[in-house]
Structure 1
């Protein structure tokens, strides 16, 4: 039988099949990171599992690169490719919530904004990211750190099952009861093993939360970070928080004279009883006098979208990530040196806590190996002007290098750059050998290689 043609692919797929000659092509090929400019030969806008199967078969049988796009937030641009095939899951965004079982089934093209909008009606949520436009797929498969991590674990810790199309075009279900090896690998191994067309999550009672934003003078950064280190070690697990370096945007609660200045900040989300929220936020007035603060109850989906206006599609992106078991004095000194140099309002640095529930899962229970880590640091370089790429990438790299002596060997795969492929083994520690074996079973030809790749 001959190789499938584009016409055959169009006849098989229900969703759009877009090629370079189609009017929609230029828009369809765009991804979140404006630094990525690639020209796939075919884009399949999948609307169901059969479309995903068709796209996989077409790419495999023609020997073409295959990129899988969920929310399109991949900073290295793994959701696209040159001259290959893109399976775009964006139109597969259905969600079904079961309030009695406190579970939700969400298709692979959903964003966390989609997800939380659906679950809010039932007063339920699970751990997701901190940007509403982030896809549930990429975040969950690589880990899933967010405001609820300390209370309920990573996104992948709340994954109950996954529908997957493998490299040979088969549809399988992965869970603790079937295809257990694949289920283990999906929880942290990224997109190496197939296309996940839907995710089933455990939900938890979370509806409205209390948000806290505190902006401190940048010369108080050492005091703020030292406070954070001590506070988060014993803080109630309902408190999700992280420190950041942030240029002040023109928000109403920030005095106008401070707009455009750089601050050390704490972003906090209290997911416990609302009546306790304001008292819990009082702790963040201890490290230094805040120049500006905002404490207010809000729907959890609103908390999840607070930073979206700063991060429209099309910015230039270059990120680095590292794990640490402690926030040392040396690390704090490095942050105090490089954090205040954050180049534009879109760029930032966050230190996410991954203690609490995250640390109660054994390191070999899922592919996510760093259960001993307490902090996940991301230096997120994001800016609008490509002319600034060289100097802003240098800021990220220099900052990351300064933290290296105080960091573990591996990092959080969701926040790694395209030049971090050399860290793959370190990212998985003792779990790496098992991941290679499972990759060899489900994708021996490495069809799914446009990712932080685990080679078979």
Structure 2
């Protein structure tokens, strides 16, 4: 770890005397480096905790003036390690978590360091909810600015589709607003590639009236996979967002064998919910935690997992889901955890929200490039011993390539719509393998590169996705 010169640190402290600053010799320094996956942690040269947009702007300017690498931490869940820096300055937004609700417009204003759990708890007092993450301890900024799937996605699209305006600190330290009428080109780029362009210190989302919902887990043996997939295909065919489900394959705490967990959601009464999900109940689940609850109570997917080691990747799964292909992935999973016992907590999850809300917007309407009639496959290999890392990364790569190959095949043989034809089949929030930026952004890549050269020509914000890798300099020059 390259050390930041002591004189530079003292200069920062004198410039912003009220700022909380941690250095490698500080008591809480090691704790400040903790991330949801320990293998993404890096030893920052300095960790700073701004409390205002002005603080953030001053820190970015200071980092530029002193040639410091900059990372931004929201919730610390980045699969690629984007919230960490090796020897640079980490700007931790955890002291910026305010949430406010305008009950007239139902606009929800969220500071950049807020977590989804806190947002839902704040908005439910007003009978309002918004499209956001299912895992409550994930940061709002990091997840929403590159997509943002949630229980309301089927009805209202992605989190990026519901961003009304954002307050952004750019690479030169300036503070700007982005909306449909203010810096519209930046507004376009920020909704899908936000972390590549600046730091969102405040985001205004469109909220929606929301009451209690029916939600919980139904647990089945792996032998029920084909029947479960058949029901989920039915759900995806008929739902306009009132119902949704996520399927997970994995080892549950206290169980000796892997199981299927179907996390179900219904926006309505319990009787209506059980009527709709009756085909799953006919399969006689081994476990059932479903009940009526507040919308804030639907978070928790992964919230109780302690920080650990892991590799994450993802791909697209076309609708209707092919049960034969799902069975092959289940076999791959079972073989892997048998071969690598240290990776017994590995999971494969199918995040297949109804696509109605997603397809209300064109592929190029925002920078988000992954709309279509499909869901996400999340492949997460968790392990406890560092020597297991290589095997887990290699398995994740092999599984990613298998899923992507099938996604491309289905796009070619199925009669897909024009939007789906241009989808990339990759979700950046789950990209732990560092895919090529052109592959990640597809039809929106060239426009993003042009805007990146305008708003961040020095490539200060390069952690989430590096839109200007050095090897692409020739391409970039041709676009100017």
TM-score surpassing 0.5?
yes
User: 1:94-126 deviations in whole A, cap 9, x for unaligned?
Assistant: 111112221111100000011011011111111
Compare 199-208 and 166-175 and name the one that shifted more. 199-208
Q: 2:266 aligns with which of 256, 263, 270?
A: 270
Compare 10-19 and 90-99 and name the one that shifted more. 10-19
Local SS of the residue matching 2:134: coil
1:181 maps onto 2:185 in alignment: yes
Q: Which residue of 2 aligns with 1:319?
A: 312
TM-superposed CA distance for 1:341, in Å, is 5.1
Change (3 A) 1:31 1:307: closer
CA contact (8 A) 1:260 1:345 kept: no
CA contact (8 A) 1:334 1:403 kept: no
User: 1:254-287 deviations in whole A, cap 9, x for unaligned?
Assistant: xxxxx2321122111112355523322324235x
Distance 1:152 1:272 in 2: 16
Local SS of the residue matching 1:414: helix
TM-superposed CA distance for 1:230, in Å, is 3.4
TM-superposed CA distance for 1:147, in Å, is 1.5
Local SS of the residue matching 1:188: helix
1:127 maps onto 2:142 in alignment: no
TM-superposed CA distance for 1:49, in Å, is 1.2
Change (3 A) 1:88 1:237: same
Distance 2:315 2:197 in 1: 24
Q: Which residue of 2 aligns with 1:414?
A: 429
Q: 2:232 aligns with which of 217, 221, 228?
A: 228
Distance 2:344 2:153 in 1: 26
CA contact (8 A) 1:212 1:281 kept: no
1:360 maps onto 2:354 in alignment: no
How many aligned residue pairs are there? 441
1:8 maps onto 2:23 in alignment: no
What are the residue-to-residue correspondences of 1:28-427 with 2, within 5 Å? Answer: 28-250=32-254, 259-273=255-269, 276-286=272-282, 288-305=283-300, 307-309=302-304, 311-312=305-306, 314-326=307-319, 327-329=321-323, 331-340=325-334, 343=337, 346-354=345-353, 355-408=355-408, 409-417=424-432, 419-422=433-436, 424-427=437-440
Gaps of 5+ in 1: 251-258
Distance 1:294 1:340 in 2: 25
Local SS of the residue matching 2:350: strand
Q: Which residue of 2 aligns with 1:446?
A: 459
TM-superposed CA distance for 1:387, in Å, is 4.5
Distance 1:306 1:329 in 2: 24
CA contact (8 A) 2:316 2:403 kept: no
User: 1:399-431 deviations in whole A, cap 9, x for unaligned?
Assistant: 3233232124540000001x3232x21222211
Distance 1:444 1:8 in 2: 26
Distance 2:15 2:244 in 1: 46
Distance 2:93 2:247 in 1: 33
Local SS of the residue matching 1:142: coil
Change (3 A) 1:130 1:297: same
1:437 maps onto 2:433 in alignment: no
Question: RMSD between aligned alpha carbons?
Answer: 2.1
Q: Which residue of 2 aligns with 1:253?
A: none
Local SS of the residue matching 1:58: helix
CA contact (8 A) 2:111 2:202 kept: yes
Local SS of the residue matching 2:388: helix
TM-superposed CA distance for 1:382, in Å, is 2.7
TM-superposed CA distance for 1:289, in Å, is 3.4
Moved over 4 A (4+): 341-346
TM-superposed CA distance for 1:384, in Å, is 4.0
The alignment's TM-score, normalised by the length of structure 1, stands at: 0.91
CA contact (8 A) 1:38 1:80 kept: yes
Distance 1:305 1:249 in 2: 15
TM-superposed CA distance for 1:394, in Å, is 3.9
CA contact (8 A) 2:19 2:50 kept: yes
User: 1:346-402 deviations in whole A, cap 9, x for unaligned?
Assistant: 432221125110111111110112222421111122344434333433443333233
Local SS of the residue matching 2:61: helix
CA contact (8 A) 1:421 1:453 kept: no
Local SS of the residue matching 2:290: strand
Distance 1:297 1:347 in 2: 29
The alignment's TM-score, normalised by the length of structure 2, stands at: 0.86
Q: Which residue of 2 aligns with 1:255?
A: none
TM-superposed CA distance for 1:345, in Å, is 6.6
CA contact (8 A) 1:149 1:240 kept: no
CA contact (8 A) 2:309 2:383 kept: yes
